[in-house]
């Protein structure tokens, strides 16, 4: 272990490239960096690695920043650091490497691909060959580092050759920039995805050449699709901002992401961010990939919806469903919806699919539906009696509890299925819908009586 690093205040970082919207995998990486820092009384820093000028866009930068804020992962630096604004710093260190003979200007004669650098060295933007680049003079040594998740890892760097660290003296690329940034920000722990393992030996060589301390490394398992391949857009992966648009609760997303590849070793499944910060332990992060299951994430979100309660649903109800309804009707509607949905966006999805048509228009159905398949009596008499009971309730107290108190004793006496089935069909026109007490409260007294009488007339 690096004793110098271990004695310092812990500082982690999340350095996304603004070349796309924030994905779940990167969000989990940010979360684990945040949790590790907070667990150990350290700092969580944020920076933007925007050296890829062609692919980096302001809209992606905005998306990443807003998505992290929505999740509640607040960084501790006063200002967001951008690599594009630090070119002079990189140039100074690059010049030092060249002056000391640790890097050199390389005359390029043919196209080549630098592994894991994301840079075709001799090719310019306009398609012409690049005549020279700056290469790191590889000492061809064996590098060994301890990964806090995977244990000791050894690389023979000879196979890397003299790798590119800048396109020109004014254009450093990823490996050089990230090493300088980590050193200047006093980063003690680099916690990133396992696809970054192959970058580590290059970065350690540059650290040693510049005389920078080596941070401790932890490489997280990938998030996998159900077929155990890397989660990607091809497998339906969507950005964090899309989950926000679908009506997920940010705490639920964090809760689910935390349990993708980490387990506290208890039976507890729901955690606040504060609880996660207290319990998080890198030693309990698994080495193998974690399979993403959206249905599981929806079920976690549903538990958070229950905790938030029906009142939290009201702002998410489309105006078509609330127009003309009293406060008590809207409250009943929110309670009904809470039982049905897993994310707030389900309301609009189901509305579009026609699931709530009975709330907007009088139902259309065949009169045969009014008789329960196991009925021991005819529905007409029951509908008449239910209608009579409902008419006695004041419009001002026409709530689920008052309606149930008036009708349920009769249903228990005559047979719940025989009474409640035709009542529910009369009110909704559906074989599957909320219970008749909830339906009545949603519709209000006038509409409830009207629909019951319509059903009675059909049976006559």
Quickly list DSSP for 202-265. HHHHHHHHHTPPPPEEEEEPPEE-TTSSBP-GGGT---HHHHHHTT--HHHHHHHHHTSSB--S
Helix (H, G, I), strand (E, B) or coil at 389: helix
Residue 120 predicted with pLDDT over 50: no
Two structure tokens written together for 137: 């003079």
Quick one: CATH architecture of 233-309? Orthogonal Bundle (1.10)
- At residue 333, the pLDDT reads 96
* pLDDT, mean of residues 122-130: 52
User: Looking at the domain covering 367-459, what would its CATH class be?
Assistant: mainly alpha
Q: What residues does 285 pair with on adjacent strands? A: 262
* pLDDT, mean of residues 109-137: 59
* 8 A C-beta contact, residue 444 and residue 396: no
**Confidence category of residue 130, pLDDT binned at 50, 70, 90:** low
Residue 261 predicted with pLDDT over 70: yes
* 8 A C-beta contact, residue 152 and residue 132: no
Q: What is the pLDDT of residues 264-282, one digit of tens each?
A: 988 899 999 999 999 999 9
Where helices occur in 80-226 by DSSP H, the ranges are 87-99, 174-184, 200-210
DSSP-assigned letter for residue 330: H
DSSP-assigned letter for residue 106: E
Residue 115 predicted with pLDDT over 50: no
Q: Is 272 exposed, middle or buried (0-12, 13-18, 19+ CB in 10 A)?
A: exposed
Helix axes 400-414, 416-428, angle to 10 degrees: 140
**What percent of the chain clears pLDDT 90, i.e. is strictly above it?**
85
Average pLDDT, the chain: 92
Domain boundaries, the chain: 233-309, 312-360, 367-459
* 8 A C-beta contact, residue 151 and residue 217: no
Helix (H, G, I), strand (E, B) or coil at 361: coil
Q: 20: which residues sit within 8 A by CB, 6+ positions away?
A: 60, 239
Helix (H, G, I), strand (E, B) or coil at 428: helix
- At residue 62, the pLDDT reads 96
- CA pair distance 89, 105, nearest whole angstrom: 19
> What is the number of residues in the chain?
460
- CA pair distance 240, 250, nearest whole angstrom: 10
Q: What is the pLDDT of residues 319-362, one digit of tens each?
A: 999 999 999 999 999 999 999 999 999 999 999 999 999 999 99
- CA pair distance 203, 440, nearest whole angstrom: 68
Q: What is the pLDDT of residues 71-100, one digit of tens each?
A: 999 999 989 999 999 999 999 999 999 999
Two structure tokens written together for 115: 């592994």
Give the residue among 250, 267, 245, 240 at the shortest CA–CA distance from 304: 250
- At residue 113, the pLDDT reads 45
């Amino acid at each position: 272990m690096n004793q110098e690093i271990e004695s310092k205040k812990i500082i982690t970082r999340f350095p996304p490239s603004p070349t796309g919207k924030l994905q779940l995998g990167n969000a989990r990486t940010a979360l684990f960096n945040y949790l590790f820092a907070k667990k150990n009384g350290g700092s969580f820093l944020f920076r933007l690695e925007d050296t890829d000028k062609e692919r980096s866009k302001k809209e992606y930068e905005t998306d990443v920043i807003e998505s992290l804020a929505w999740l509640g992962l607040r960084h501790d630096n006063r200002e967001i650091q951008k690599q594009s604004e630090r070119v002079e710093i990189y140039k100074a260190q690059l010049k030092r490497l060249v002056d000391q003979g640790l890097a050199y200007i390389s005359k390029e004669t043919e196209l080549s691909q630098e592994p894991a650098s994301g840079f075709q060295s001799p090719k310019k933007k306009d398609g012409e060959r690049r005549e020279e680049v700056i290469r790191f003079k590889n000492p061809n040594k064996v590098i060994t580092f301890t990964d806090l998740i995977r244990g000791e890892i050894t690389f023979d760097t000879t196979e890397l050759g003299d790798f590119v660290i800048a396109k020109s003296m004014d254009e450093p690329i990823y490996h050089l920039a990230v090493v300088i940034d980590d050193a200047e920000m006093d980063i003690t722990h680099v916690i990133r995805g396992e696809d970054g393992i192959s970058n580590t030996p290059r970065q350690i060589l540059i650290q040693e050449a510049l005389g920078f301390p080596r941070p401790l490394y932890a490489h997280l398992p990938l998030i996998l699709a159900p077929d155990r391949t890397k989660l990607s857009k091809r497998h339906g992966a969507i950005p964090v901002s899309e989950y926000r648009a679908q009506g997920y609760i940010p705490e639920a997303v964090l809760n689910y992401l935390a349990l993708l590849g980490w387990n506290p070793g208890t039976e507890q499944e729901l955690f606040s961010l504060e609880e996660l910060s207290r319990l998080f332990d890198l030693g309990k992060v698994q080495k193998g990939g974690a399979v993403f299951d959206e249905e599981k994430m929806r079920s976690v979100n549903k538990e958070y919806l229950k905790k938030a309660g029906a009142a939290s649903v009201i702002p998410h109800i489309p105006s078509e469903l609330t127009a003309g309804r009293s406060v008590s009707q809207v409250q009943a509607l929110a309670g009904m919806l809470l039982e049905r949905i897993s994310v707030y966006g389900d309301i609009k999805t189901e509305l579009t699919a026609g699931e709530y048509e009975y709330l907007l228009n009088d139902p259309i159905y065949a009169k045969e539906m009014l008789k329960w398949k196991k009925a021991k009596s005819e529905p007409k008499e029951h509908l008449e009696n239910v209608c009579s009971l409902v008419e006695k309730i004041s419009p001002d107290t026409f709530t689920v509890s008052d309606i149930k108190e008036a009708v349920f004793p009769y249903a228990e006496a005559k047979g719940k299925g025989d009474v409640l089935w035709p009542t529910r069909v009369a009110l909704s026109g559906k074989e599957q819908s909320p219970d008749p007490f909830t339906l009545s409260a949603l519709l209000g007294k006038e509409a409830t009586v009207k629909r019951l009488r319509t059903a009675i007339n059909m049976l006559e």
